[in-house]
Amino acid sequence: MAPHMDAPSPSGSLRSSLDGPRYNSLSFAPRQRALDGYRSSSESLTDGASTIADVHMYRPLIPGVYVPTMCFFEAKTEDVDTTTIAQHAVRLARAGVTGLATQGSNGEAVHLTHAERYTVTATTRRALNENGFSHLPIIVGCGSQSTKETIEYCREAYEAGGDYALVLPPSYYAGLFAPACETIIEYFHTVADSSPIPLLIYNFPGAVGGLDLSSDIIIKLSRHPNIVGVKLTCGNTGKLNRVVSATRRLTKLYDYDHPEFVVLGGSADFLVQTLAAGGHGILAGLANLAPKACLSTMRLYREGSMEEAQHLQDTLSDGDWTAIQGGVVGTKAGLQAWLGYAGYARSPLPKPTEEQAQKWKDGFKSLMELEKSLD
């Protein structure tokens, strides 16, 4: 887990802008914007059981377990394996997860072209729709180093059937950014103004050279009507609580089950801690392996069965440590060992040795035994 930092923002950056009224998110209609210059994808997405209404229906983000899905590749060619992508999405949906995410860290987004990203999301949307899960939202990773390309990714995500865009802050030229996070704020506001789908902020310092957005910055960004949530992979539950508390106060009629601004933990190893801090669930890679274990932990906590929830959390935390150490390579090795599919990550990531594969299989043993007991 990357170290977290939540120091106060530099002076003069935020205070005055935090005093204004919150936008009314219900009056904002990003889905109705014209996508000038972009081709329509409705024909390719509405083959078979899907309809245009199925592709672009409203799918709210509600409390639960969201899964950043893996991307799978053909063994010999490393071409995108759409069959396995579809089967994996349906397996997770049948387990009862709340929603899926494509193009995340676990989805090897950095290894994919624009066209491949589109294919992965469109394949996932079609698989869900054709198997009775058209209600499940898809969050699509859309972050890029330039504002222009990030907007392009958001528009392409919409075309492919995505419902929300998960956006990392840019970081490559962070040393040249304007003070008081002005560059970051402008970046998110510009993307949100232009995106046809709502944004979730992705705070993952380990993926952006240590850049860690403070709670002040996230709360400020939450006021934009087209920014509707955050994924906190920083592991800072104090920050998570501050964001939940502030955004709850900014909501006129707060409803935990239908939040205007959803706050998700970014890892399964602090699911109970996220819920205790008022968060709405997780968007966590470990759920690729054990969705039912994650769902059961959340259910038990919300039912008030704290001791049982903590017992499951112990197993989740142990399993997640294996996933954190092995990354996408180790998680795929675990899927392959325990469920018989996954293959390997795209090169240049290495294939695990037999010793490594066995180590990761063993590391997931207790987790997978728990998962199978919940069938």
In this model, does residue 320 exceed pLDDT 90?
A: yes
What is the reported pTM? 0.87
Among 218, 221, 213, smallest CA distance to 192 is for 221
Most confident of the following: 15-24, 200-209, 332-341: 332-341
Q: What percent of the chain has pLDDT above 70? A: 86
Residue 272 has pLDDT above 50, yes or no: yes
Q: What is the 3-state secondary structure (H, E, C) of 38-67?
A: CCCCHHHHCCCCCCHHHHCCCCCCCCEEEE
Decide if 180 contacts 12 (C-beta within 8 A).
yes
* Residue 27 confidence (pLDDT): 33
Question: For 62-73, how does the pLDDT look when each residue is reduced to its tens digit (9 = 90+)?
Answer: 999 999 999 999
Q: Distance of alpha carbon 300 from its chain centroid, rounded? A: 23
> pLDDT at position 179, please?
85
Q: Is the pLDDT of residue 87 over 80?
A: yes
Q: What is the pLDDT of residue 2?
A: 39
Mean per-residue pLDDT over the chain, rounded: 88
Active site (annotated) includes residue 231: yes
* pLDDT recorded at residue 44: 55
User: What pLDDT score was predicted for residue 321?
Assistant: 97
Name the catalytic one among 231, 239, 292, 332: 231
pLDDT of 257 over the 70 cut: yes
